[in-house]
């Protein structure tokens, strides 16, 4: 149930990542969450956007409504004084919001680096702080000493810390970091991602789709090798690869060497509406990554009614249950090929309408927004128990 007018809050979102002109998909899940929350609350996003070498002391400020959410962007130039300019940018953004009467009831940071800042602001403003955590440095064991100092400050100071999966929570705790954890997945735009009509004709050959950056951790080379193995067994499939990155030319060469050039389409980075369309045209999503905190792509595919073949890593097993797809060991191209073949040979085991319905119920924006309303109320209660400054 959406929040009532009496419970409407002013929520200040401080993201470490957010879509921008140079990278329109970076942190797009944060914007999705902001949009979902804005259905029941007054939301403002304050994004300290990395910038190029601007003039001395220069901060570029934009204030716009982005996808229905007020978004103040402070473009902070690189350089020796960047940290000082980050503080100046943050203060400028807060002054702009305060001038319009926006005083945060809740501060919602995305990842610990901004969480540490949010904790300081929360103490100054008397507002509870929640930190959404998505960062893969924890499961990949890449957190630096500086990361851990900031994470400890953020997680101990926040009223609630909200990882996107139980797997990520465990990875955080493995560093000896503790907090009031509540797990919450990212939402899916169910107006954009939707299942194809039940009467749609089956495709021959079947069509697969993979979505992600073309970097080694995403495992597209393993997928291509798996398709090469299927082709050698006489199983023809088509593949749409959506995304770009430094390995693209290597993967194109690999596809050619495997005789797959006429079966594989490299689309590059595409607008989300096109990604949603490609999912509706596909029979199966493959997610062959070696590490994932959760995988928004898997959630979007399920809302689109697609079964999923994915690596058994991170939070993926928490969202791909029986009847929704198959899991394989990360890095095993033979197992990947076998799972793809099994799904394609037994489509009756994977009911598209059931997959889509369950995913909409679990990951749809309205459901996620209602759960956030409960967490904000809990954060306020924790704040009261801790004692607010006068």
Distances (CA, A) of 200 to 237, 282, 301, 360: 18, 11, 17, 20
CATH code assigned at 87 = 3.40.50.2000
pLDDT of residue 183: 97
For residue 283, name the pLDDT band (cuts at 50, 70, 90).
very high
> What's the rounded Cα separation, in Å, for the pair 312 and 188?
21
Residue 126 lies in a domain: yes
Residue 67 lies in a domain: yes
SS3 assignment, position 56: coil
Q: Is there a single domain that holds both residue 266 and residue 125?
A: no
Q: Is there a single domain that holds both residue 168 and residue 235?
A: no
pLDDT of residue 390: 39
Question: What is the tens place of the pLDDT at every residue in 211-236?
Answer: 999 999 999 999 999 999 999 999 99
Q: Is there a single domain that holds both residue 231 and residue 327?
A: yes
- DSSP track, 296-338: HHHHHHHHTT--EEEES-TTHHHH--TTTEEEE-TT-HHHHHH
pLDDT of residue 60: 85
Closest CA to 352 of 304, 286, 305: 305
Q: Is there a single domain that holds both residue 129 and residue 249?
A: no
Question: What is the tens place of the pLDDT at every residue in 339-371?
Answer: 999 999 999 999 999 999 999 999 999 999 999
Q: Is there a single domain that holds both residue 147 and residue 9?
A: yes
Q: Is there a single domain that holds both residue 153 and residue 263?
A: no
Q: Is there a single domain that holds both residue 158 and residue 232?
A: no
pLDDT of residue 2: 45
Distances (CA, A) of 288 to 73, 226, 353: 35, 10, 24
For residue 201, name the pLDDT band (cuts at 50, 70, 90).
low
> What's the rounded Cα separation, in Å, for the pair 31 and 12?
13
Q: What is the residue-averaged pLDDT of the chain?
A: 92
pLDDT of residue 377: 96
pLDDT above 70 (res 55): no
Write out the residue range of the structural domain in which residue 259 sits: 207-363
Residue 304 lies in a domain: yes
Q: Is there a single domain that holds both residue 133 and residue 229?
A: no
pLDDT above 90 (res 34): yes
pLDDT above 90 (res 204): no
Query: What value does the mean pLDDT take over residues 13-26?
Result: 90
For residue 81, name the pLDDT band (cuts at 50, 70, 90).
low
Query: What value does the mean pLDDT take over residues 163-187?
Result: 97
Residue 24 lies in a domain: yes
Q: Is there a single domain that holds both residue 165 and residue 259?
A: no
Residue 198 lies in a domain: no
Residue 194 lies in a domain: no
> What's the rounded Cα separation, in Å, for the pair 234 and 204?
14
In this structure, the dihedral spanned by the alpha carbons of residues 67, 33, 373 and 15, taken in order and rounded to 10 degrees, is -100
Distances (CA, A) of 361 to 46, 182, 299: 30, 19, 11
Beta partners for 108? 13, 130
Spatial strand order of the sheet with 308-311 comes to: 264-268, 238-242, 207-211, 284-287, 308-311, 325-328
Residue 193 lies in a domain: no
Q: Is there a single domain that holds both residue 96 and residue 109?
A: yes
Beta partners for 65? 70
Q: Is there a single domain that holds both residue 24 and residue 149?
A: yes
> How many independent structural domains does the chain possess?
2
> What's the rounded Cα separation, in Å, for the pair 221 and 254?
8
pLDDT of residue 200: 61
Question: What is the tens place of the pLDDT at every residue in 291-344?
Answer: 999 999 999 999 999 999 999 999 999 999 889 999 999 999 999 999 999 999
Residue 200 lies in a domain: no
Q: Is there a single domain that holds both residue 172 and residue 260?
A: no
């Amino acid at each position: 149930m959406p929040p009532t007018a009496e419970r409407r809050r002013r929520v200040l979102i401080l993201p470490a990542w957010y879509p921008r002109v140079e990278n329109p998909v970076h942190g797009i899940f944060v914007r999705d969450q902001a949009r979902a929350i804005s259905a029941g609350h007054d939301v403002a996003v304050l994004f300290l956007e990395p910038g190029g070498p601007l003039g001395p002391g220069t901060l570029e400020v934009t204030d716009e409504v982005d996808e229905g959410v007020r978004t103040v962007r402070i473009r902070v130039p690189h350089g020796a004084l960047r940290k000082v300019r980050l503080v100046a940018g943050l203060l400028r953004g807060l002054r702009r919001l305060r001038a319009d009467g926006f005083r945060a009831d809740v501060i919602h940071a995305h990842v610990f680096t901004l969480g540490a800042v949010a904790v300081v602001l929360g103490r100054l403003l008397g507002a509870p702080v929640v930190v959404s955590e998505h960062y893969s440095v924890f499961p990949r064991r890449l957190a630096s000493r500086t990361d851990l100092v900031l994470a400890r400050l953020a997680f101990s100071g926040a009223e609630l810390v909200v990882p996107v999966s139980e797997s990520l929570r465990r990875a955080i705790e493995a560093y000896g970091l503790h907090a009031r954890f509540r797990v919450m997945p990212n939402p899916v735009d169910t107006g954009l991602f939707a299942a194809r009509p039940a009467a749609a004709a089956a495709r021959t050959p079947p069509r697969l789709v993979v979505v992600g950056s073309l970097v080694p951790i995403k495992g597209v080379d393993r997928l291509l090798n798996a398709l090469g193995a299927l082709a050698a067994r006489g199983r023809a499939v088509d593949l749409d690869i959506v995304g770009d990155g430094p390995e693209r030319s290597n993967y194109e060469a690999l596809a050619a060497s495997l005789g797959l050039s006429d079966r594989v389409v490299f689309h590059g980075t595409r607008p989300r509406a096109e990604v949603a369309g490609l999912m509706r045209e596909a029979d199966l999503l493959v997610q062959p990554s070696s590490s994932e905190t959760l995988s928004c792509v898997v959630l979007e595919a399920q809302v689109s009614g697609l079964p999923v073949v994915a690596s058994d890593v991170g939070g993926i097993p928490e969202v791909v249950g029986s009847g929704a797809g198959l899991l394989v060991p990360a890095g095993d191209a033979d197992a990947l090929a076998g799972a793809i073949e099994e799904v394609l040979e037994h489509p009756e085991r994977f009911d598209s309408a059931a997959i889509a319905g369950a995913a909409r119920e679990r990951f749809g924006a309205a459901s996620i927004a209602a759960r956030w309303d409960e967490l904000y109320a809990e954060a306020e209660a924790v704040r009261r128990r801790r004692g607010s400054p006068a």
